[in-house]
Amino acid sequence: MTEDLSSFPLHLEGANVPMVRFAKVTKSYGALTVLDQLDLDVATGEMVTVIGPSGSGKTTVLRMLMTLEKINGGVIYVDGEPMTHMEKGGRLVAADNAHLRRVRSKIGMCFQHFNLFPHMTALENCMEGPTQVLGLSKAEAKARAETLLEQVGMAAKRGHRPAQLSGGQQQRVAIARALAMRPKVMLFDEVTSALDPEVIGEVTNVIRKLTSEHALTMLMVTHQMGFAKDISDRICFFYKGKIEEQGSPKELFDHPQKPRTQQFLSAVREAI
Amino acid sequence: MTTAWDWAFAAEILPRLIHATGYTLLAAGGGYLIALILGLALTFLQRSRSRVLTIVVREVMEFVRSTPLVLQIFFIFYVGPQFGLRLSPWTAGMIAIGLHYGAYLSEVFRGGIESVPKGQWEAATALNLSTVKTYVRIILPQALPSALAGMGNYLVGILKDTPMLAVIGVTELLHAANTIGAESYRYLEPYTIVGLIFLLLSLPAAALIRSAETWVRKKLGLNA
């Protein structure tokens, strides 16, 4: 990457430093540009939901922030410091592994397919990060995991392996597992998309409850428009790798300005 | 010399052959251990981020797999000393077996690792686990069940290939049978018994591997 990064600040300073900033972030797979010069700020404590048709790049936004995808241009800042890059000799260079790991520790993520570790119980899943990464003792990690499993209503199933749990239960354990790392930012990537309709509510309710109890900044991709409307401070509608329109849930859902947004929302409503 | 089976002679040589069976098992076990370690190391090297390293390792493995084991045994034992590598028949033999089968086992491990869903790597990244811990605690335990069948097959393969070590004078089963034959001019009994011993060793192995696989899957809570 021989990009000129001199226009990007080494750190974000001032009164309103966002928790997350995408600064002119570009992502492409070969000739296909998935995200084109994305600028997006998420304030501390803000709940932002990304919606849009498939292929609009919305999941890629979360995956880049979790460092699961490398970016091709621009800089991502987390908590005021660059994440995809680091300072070296007064300028930004690509982040090394140690820097990535340090900044990444501020971010947690839940996935569409849960991705629980199948060879561990619910409790062990929630203890893995705290013991292996944060260096907590087994007793401390266990206490923390049990509290969180209690909060997501999974305390009774703490000794169960993922294969013995329903999708909704697995997703609740996955939420507890992510929160056990005490992240500042939580990413929810279509966490209800793989669930049967009747259990979607148990997962969305857990997210509603936890986001109000934990001081979290949240970035979410979902197809549950009602849930997005309830929980979000801001909705971003993505179309072809760009933010086509954004605003408060009320503005965006009730009075969409752009034709693409109107089309998408009416198509979604018809589907329900 | 008669062609009829001589029970008394068979009984007389049996202790010597059973004794040699111990050496065969030792050669197979030692070779397998080297192959396991080398195979795993090759797997990691091949998965490294360095493109050059990946290609070099792949080509070396291809070379090792495409040439006969017996040639590799000769090469290490007879050509090695020209380069200052003086090894006993035992050491040379086990290294040759370990190298040859390490190249095969590496493919088995690679297949096992690739059978673990991508989401497991992503979850490990999201939890910020280090690469080493991701392998040791998350990926390898899940790769093991699907790798076990291949690992077992190559264990039997190694066992059956140990007679090749007789060519450089390792005193395993075939070597013992040859010696008995040379002393008594009777080959029927020693070779037959050696064949039976190999049969008795190989047959239960397949069943053992299957039950090990089931046991590991159950132990890890993975679906069969």
Q: Among A87, A82, A86, which residue's Cα sits nearest to residue A95?
A: A86
Q: Which tokens go with A10? A: 């080494």
* DSSP class of A241: T
Q: Does A163 touch chain B (CB under 8 A)?
A: yes
Is B212 inside any structural domain?
A: yes
Among A196, A170, A183, CA closest to A130: A183
Q: Report the CATH number at residue B116.
A: 1.10.3720.10
With residues binned 3-state (H G I as helix, E B as strand, rest as coil), the percentages for chain A, rounded to 5, are 40, 25, 35
Is-contact A24 A38, C-beta < 8 A?
A: yes
Q: Tell me which amino acid residue B97 is.
A: I
Residue A105 touches partner B, C-beta closer than 8 Å: yes
Would you tell me the crossing angle of helices B7-46 and B188-219 to the nearest 10 degrees?
Answer: 40
What's the CA gap between B88 and B102, in Å, rounded?
Answer: 20
Domain count, chain A: 1
> Does residue A126 lie in a domain region?
yes
Between B18 and A54, residue with greater pLDDT: B18
> Any chain B CB within 8 A of the CB of A227?
no
Whole-angstrom Cα distance, residue B92 to residue B94? 6
- The letter for the amino acid at B100 is H
The residues near B40 (Cβ < 8 Å, ≥ 6 apart) are B105, B106, B109
Q: Which residues of chain A are within 8 Å of residue B137 when distances are taken between CB atoms?
A: 128, 132
Coil vs helix vs strand at A154: coil
Q: Which residue of A has its CA nearest to B132?
A: A132
Q: Quick check: A183 contacting B, CB < 8 Å? A: no
Give the residue from B107, B111, B141, B108 showing the smallest Cα distance to B124: B141
Spatial CA neighbour of A108 closest among A179, A211, A205: A179
Integer Cα distance of A100 and A84 in angstroms: 7
Q: Which of B199, B200, B163, B205 lies closest to B23, judged by CA?
A: B163
pLDDT-derived band at B175 (thresholds 50, 70, 90) equals: very high
Query: Which of A 43-62 lie inside 8 A of B, CB atoms?
Result: none
Is A106 in a helix, a strand, or coil? Answer: coil
Res A55: pLDDT = 81
Residue B128 and residue A97 in contact, taking contact as beta carbons nearer than 8 Å: no
Integer angstrom CA distances of residue A116 from A126, A164, A170, A249, B119: 9, 12, 7, 32, 9
Residue A233 domain-assigned? no
Instruction: Write out chain A residues lying below 8 Å of B223, CB-based.
Output: 163
Distance between CA atoms of residues B182 and B63, nearest Å: 37
> Which stretches of A121-240 are DSSP H helices?
122-132, 138-151, 167-179, 197-213, 225-231
In a domain, B173, yes or no: yes
Of B122, B128, B141, the CB nearest to A115: B122
Interface check for A115 against chain B (CB to CB < 8 A): the answer is: yes
* pLDDT value of residue A182: 95
**What local confidence, expressed as pLDDT, does residue B56 receive?**
92
What pLDDT was estimated at residue B214?
Answer: 87
* Residues forming beta bridges with residue A243, ordered by sequence position: A238
CA distance B24 to B56: 33
Quick check: is B92 in a domain?
A: yes
User: Is residue B170's pLDDT more than 80?
Assistant: yes
Average pLDDT across chain B, whole number = 91
Domain that holds residue B53: 7-219
Question: Which pTM value belongs to this model?
Answer: 0.88
* Neighbouring-strand partners of residue A49: A220, A235
The two beta strands, A242-247 and A234-239, are antiparallel
* 3-state DSSP percent of chain B in helix, strand and coil, to 5: 85, 0, 15
The crossing angle, in degrees rounded to 10, of helices A138-151 and A122-132 is: 130
Residue A246 lies in a domain: no
Out of A119, A128, A177, the one facing B142 most closely (by C-beta) is: A119
Q: How many domains does chain B have?
A: 1
Phi, psi of A93 (to 5 degrees): -125, 165
In a domain, B89, yes or no: yes
> Number of A:B CB contacts under 8 A?
64
Half-sphere exposure (CA, 13 Å, Cβ side) for B198? Answer: 21
| Nearest CA distance, A159 vs chain B (angstrom) | 12
CA-to-CA separations, A73 to A4, A86, A142, A243, B11, in angstroms, rounded: 10, 14, 41, 17, 79
At A48, phi and psi to the nearest 5?
Answer: -115, 130
Q: For B126, which of A109, A113, A118 is closest by C-beta distance? A: A109
Q: Which two tokens stand for residue A17?
A: 């430093």
Tell me if A163 is assigned to some domain: yes
What Cα–Cα distance (Å) separates residue A151 from each residue in A85, A177, A206, B69?
36, 12, 8, 60
Q: Is residue A142 part of a domain?
A: yes
B130 — contact with chain A (CB < 8 Å)?
Answer: yes
* Phi, psi angles (nearest 5°) of residue A15: -75, -40
pLDDT at B1 (0 to 100): 54
Q: Does B224 map to a domain?
A: no
CB A46 within 8 A of CB A53: no
**Closest residue in B to A133 (Cα–Cα):** B129
Provide the pLDDT for residue A126: 97
Q: What's the confidence (pLDDT) of residue A6?
A: 86
Distance CA A65, CA A77 (A): 9
Host domain of residue A161 = 116-182
Q: What is the pLDDT along chain A (272 residues), one digit of tens a residue?
A: 467 888 899 999 888 899 999 999 999 988 888 999 999 999 999 999 999 998 888 999 999 999 999 999 999 999 999 999 999 988 999 999 999 999 999 999 999 999 999 999 999 999 999 999 999 999 999 999 999 999 999 999 999 999 999 999 999 999 999 999 999 999 999 999 999 988 899 999 999 888 888 889 999 999 889 899 989 999 999 998 899 999 999 999 999 999 999 999 999 888 76
d(CA B209, CA B211): 5
